[in-house]
Amino acid sequence: MAQAKPSGESRPRGRPPVRSDEETKRIVFDAARHAFAVEGYAATSTEALARAAGVSTKTLYRLFPGKAALFEAMCADRLERLLSTVDLHAGGDVDIETGLRAALLACADLALDPEVVAMQRMVLQESAAFPDLAANFYKYGIARTATALARWLRVQVKKKLIVLDDVDEAAGMLIGMVASAPQRAAIYGGVALPSRKQIEHRVQTCTALFLNGCRAASA
């Protein structure tokens, strides 16, 4: 028969390890992305966000003044991590075609990321009631993606690998060509987002169109 443990013996006690604000923000961002995508911006309360993240509302308000500030920070954080892949290829010693494919693939991965598309769908639904929501999504999403690609293109112009009159306009055109049609089909038509293989094929086609054009040589 097992002997009972001495009454003085107990489980070690102590305060749980303190989580840093950065770790807490990451947990809140993950919970917010899911909640906003499923419930929508208007229907998601700060109290529900705090519960989903496992933090107190006091902690949530200490980190973010309000729901709009949380949405803005969440978008900036998500897009910052995704956009970093574009910068990795800016100064690489690769040929222009390989480099452009890598840069466009990074932009397509961002624009066609299921969470980003879900956020964009939610922003479109809520933009009439919350115009700042759309403005912030554009500022931290669409505009930053184009800026990152324009920065990459500007390096290639300085290397004299391509010639462009307006780098910023070209960046917007490229992103539109590689991502806008499948993005619109998913948001408005309920069409499934393209597979990785389909995205890579689209990027390859867009790269060839941009660098070589499509007019027949005999023309």
Helix (H, G, I), strand (E, B) or coil at 93: coil
Exposed (0-12), middle (13-18) or buried (19+): which is 171, by Cβ within 10 Å? buried
Domain ranges, ordered by start, for the chain: 21-212
Show pLDDT as tens, one digit a residue, over the chain (219 residues).
555 555 544 555 555 567 899 999 999 999 998 888 788 888 899 999 999 999 999 999 999 998 988 988 888 887 777 766 655 554 557 789 999 999 899 889 888 988 888 888 888 888 888 888 888 888 877 788 888 899 999 999 999 999 999 999 999 999 999 999 999 999 999 999 999 999 999 999 999 999 998 887 665
Token couple for 125 = 């639904």
The pLDDT score that the predictor gives to residue 4 is 52
Rounded Cα distance, 36 and 42, in Å? 9
DSSP 127: T
Q: How many CA atoms lie within 13 A of 9 on its CB side?
A: 4
CA 37 to chain centre: 13
Angle between helices 167-175 and 96-111 (to 10 degrees): 60
Class of domain 21-212: mainly alpha
Q: Is 100 exposed, middle or buried (0-12, 13-18, 19+ CB in 10 A)?
A: buried
149, 78 Cβ separation under 8 angstroms: no
Q: What is the pLDDT of residue 76?
A: 80
Residue 87 has a pLDDT of 52
